[in-house]
Amino acid sequence: MEKLQSLDLIWGAGAIAKVIGRSPRATFDMLDKGELPAKKVNGRWVIERNKLVTFFTGDAA
């Protein structure tokens, strides 16, 4: 049986903003425009930390 990987998820535009060092408003705008690799789940933005780091650095964390 394959072992499941633990996901390190960042929930909400405010939390994502803290990670990327932008204001919540600027981050929400980026999310809304599809400029960040996040998804909306039940009305809330969510992204895997590894995907966010890879998006900005090009390196897998």
Report DSSP letters for 7-19, one per residue. P-EEESHHHHHHH
Are residues 47 and 13 in contact, defined by beta-carbon separation less than 8 angstroms?
no
pTM for the structure as a whole: 0.81
Structure tokens at 4: 């499941």
> What are 10-59's pLDDT values in tens digits?
999 999 999 999 999 999 999 999 999 999 999 999 999 999 989 988 87
Structure tokens at 56: 């900005």
What does the CA dihedral 30, 33, 38, 40 come to, rounded to 10 degrees? 120
Structure tokens at 52: 């966010």
Question: What band does 7 get if pLDDT is binned at 50, 70 and 90?
Answer: confident
